[in-house]
């Protein structure tokens, strides 16, 4: 029953799962990475056979083979880099790599001589790299967008969680690096967005000079600007399971998308026009917040969800999530090793499945709608309106609690495997913190916009946003202080995680066989005295 009702969305999720499974198989069998051209040929052969013989289910096999091919291709490139990094070049120098400056360049004084030590982020064959090099002259400092040839040694920390963790490229002498491609840094999109982000960060702090910590929290929630205040409170928010509200992630992107769509609809734009305008504005917000991977993934998902209405299709959260996973893991198979990526997809999938699953059963508050329908039939419309109002509020509380539980169930085994910690307090804290975070983000966005027209009005809205942030901080401290809600555990194995999910799937399957189905109780709309009954069916 559940499969047939959500067949389209679940089919796309299954396709994404087939691709991810293929990539996992490819990385596990990395000893065969040199045979990736053969795997690509087999994939093309299977595509031809499936098209010629009209085999619809062969697409899962095709995606699995494609995942194996991409993983082997990436492993082959990594092994080549590893082999190159262990050998001297033909000139007797360390191996040289061409790297592009992909971040701001940090610079500090070099103690042993007159000069600086600089570092910046880049990639070598898909592997993240942090380049550390000495610089003598100010004019030799790399700038964002430039390409440099650096001769040095690659190192990987012993505590690295995967073979694709960030490495360091140590350049031992200033003469071992030189610029091979310059860039017009003044016109680079990243530089432009950085300057715009600095302006918005200034407006987000208007009126909050009395409390710099709250101002820094507001900037972190709205623009992803991390400060020392955030790191001082890291343990408190981590123990309460609420650290996610201060990172630009799916929560913030969804809130901003909803806020933008609401504003555009108030202007009078039709639904399709609202979606068409919201998508580029959402992309601009993600760029302004630093284009963090979690925000980019959430923006892709929201764009797919909003874009469905542009083509006359019904928005489907499961379909949007599955297509996003195909795009993300299809373009970067190394994200298989990224904990944050796996956690965000698992949590979003858990929430989407919970919403679809729970909507087919009756709720404990259905008696209010029955009484409201009876009272309306007897002519007492005011009492019916009051009951419907309380029913709506109760459903909001139950929905928040259900979503919090679904997110915890989906993310707990991954957190236990990577961090060795299970946080029960997040079940309670997120019920209150997430709605307050939504208010803080919306008020902060309104404060930034208002401060450009009227500084006093912007200060008022910024202080209201800071008040929400203060409440979140107090709730997190209270939950973190309760004993027994966060405890350490041994890192879980993949088998433990699989058994956890299978146990919950079995439990929900058993519940589906015994829970009463959803009731359809219709209440006739009524207008009078400034009040109206809710006509939605439940």
Q: Which residues pair with 170 in a beta bridge?
A: 132, 153
Q: To 10 degrees, the CA torsion angle through 232, 233, 236, 242?
A: -140
Q: Which two tokens stand for residue 402?
A: 């259900």
Distances (CA, A) of 335 to 46, 94, 240, 358, 396: 26, 29, 27, 31, 35
| % the chain with pLDDT above 70 | 90
pLDDT at residue number 536: 44
CB-based contact 467:237 (threshold 8 Å): no
* Statement: residue 535 has pLDDT above 60: no
Residue 428: name the closest of 407, 401, 410 by CA. Answer: 401
Cα Rg, the chain, nearest whole Å: 27
pTM (2 d.p.): 0.82
pLDDT at residue number 1: 63
β 153-155/421-423 pair status: unpaired
As a whole number, mean pLDDT of residues 273-297 equals 80
β 127-135/167-170 pair status: parallel
**Could you give the 3-state DSSP secondary structure of residue 446?**
helix
Read off the pLDDT of residues 287-338 as tens digits, 9 standing for 90 and up.
777 677 777 888 888 888 888 877 777 888 888 889 899 998 988 888 888 8
pLDDT at residue number 299: 85
Distances (CA, A) of 163 to 27, 99, 157: 10, 19, 10
pLDDT at residue number 21: 92
pLDDT at residue number 531: 42
Q: Which two tokens stand for residue 62?
A: 């095709």
Read off the pLDDT of residues 83-123 as tens digits, 9 standing for 90 and up.
888 887 777 788 888 888 887 788 887 655 567 888 888 88
End-to-end C-alpha distance for the chain, whole angstroms: 19
């Amino acid at each position: 029953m559940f499969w047939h009702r959500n067949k389209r969305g679940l089919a796309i999720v299954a396709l994404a799962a087939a691709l991810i499974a293929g990539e996992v198989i490819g990385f596990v069998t990395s000893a065969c990475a040199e045979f990736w051209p053969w795997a690509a040929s087999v994939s093309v052969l299977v595509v031809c056979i499936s098209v010629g013989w009209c085999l619809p289910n062969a697409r899962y096999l095709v995606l699995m083979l494609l995942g194996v091919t991409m993983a082997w291709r990436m492993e082959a490139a990594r092994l080549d880099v590893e082999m190159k990094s262990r050998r001297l070049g033909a000139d007797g120098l360390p191996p040289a790599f061409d790297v592009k400056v992909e971040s701001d360049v940090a610079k500090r004084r070099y103690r042993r001589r007159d000069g600086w030590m600089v570092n910046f982020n880049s990639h070598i064959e898909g592997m993240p790299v942090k380049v550390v090099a000495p610089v003598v002259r100010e004019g030799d400092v790399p700038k964002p967008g430039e390409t440099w040839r650096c001769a040095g040694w690659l190192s990987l920390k012993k505590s690295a969680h995967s073979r694709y963790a960030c490495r360091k490229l140590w350049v031992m002498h200033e003469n071992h690096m030189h610029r091979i491609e310059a860039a017009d840094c003044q016109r680079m999109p990243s530089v432009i967005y950085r300057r715009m982000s600095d302006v918005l960060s200034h407006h987000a702090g208007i009126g909050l000079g009395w409390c710099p910590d709250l101002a820094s929290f507001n900037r972190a929630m709205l623009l992803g600007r991390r400060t020392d205040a955030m790191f001082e409170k890291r343990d408190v928010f981590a123990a309460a399971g609420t650290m996610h509200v201060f990172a630009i992630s799916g929560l913030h992107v969804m809130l901003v998308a909803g806020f933008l769509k609401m504003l555009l609809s108030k202007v009078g734009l039709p639904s399709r026009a609202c979606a068409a305008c919201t998508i580029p504005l959402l992309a601009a917000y993600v760029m302004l917040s630093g284009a963090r991977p979690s925000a980019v993934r959430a923006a892709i998902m929201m764009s797919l969800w909003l874009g469905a209405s542009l083509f006359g299709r019904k928005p489907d959260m499961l379909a949007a999530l599955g297509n996003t996973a195909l795009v993300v893991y299809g373009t970067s198979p190394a994200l298989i090793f990224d904990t944050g990526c796996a956690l965000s997809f698992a949590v979003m999938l858990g929430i989407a499945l919970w919403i679809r699953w729970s909507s087919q059963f009756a709720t404990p508050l259905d008696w209010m709608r029955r009484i409201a329908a009876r009272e309306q039939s007897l002519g007492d419309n005011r009492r019916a309106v009051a009951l419907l109002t309380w029913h709506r509020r109760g459903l909001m509380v139950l929905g928040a609690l259900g979503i919090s539980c679904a997110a915890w169930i989906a993310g707990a085994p991954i957190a236990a495997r990577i961090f060795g910690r299970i946080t029960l307090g997040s079940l309670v804290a997120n019920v209150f913190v997430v709605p307050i975070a939504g208010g803080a983000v919306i008020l902060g966005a309104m404060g930034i916009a208002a401060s450009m027209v009227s500084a006093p009005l912007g200060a008022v809205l910024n202080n209201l946003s800071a008040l929400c942030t203060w409440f979140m901080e107090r709730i997190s401290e209270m939950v973190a202080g309760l004993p027994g809600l966060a405890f350490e555990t041994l890192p879980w194995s993949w088998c433990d995680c699989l058994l956890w999910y299978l146990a919950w799937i079995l439990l929900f399957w058993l519940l589906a066989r015994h829970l009463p189905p959803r009731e359809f109780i219709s209440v006739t709309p009524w207008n009078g005295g400034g009040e109206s009954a809710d006509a939605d069916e439940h």
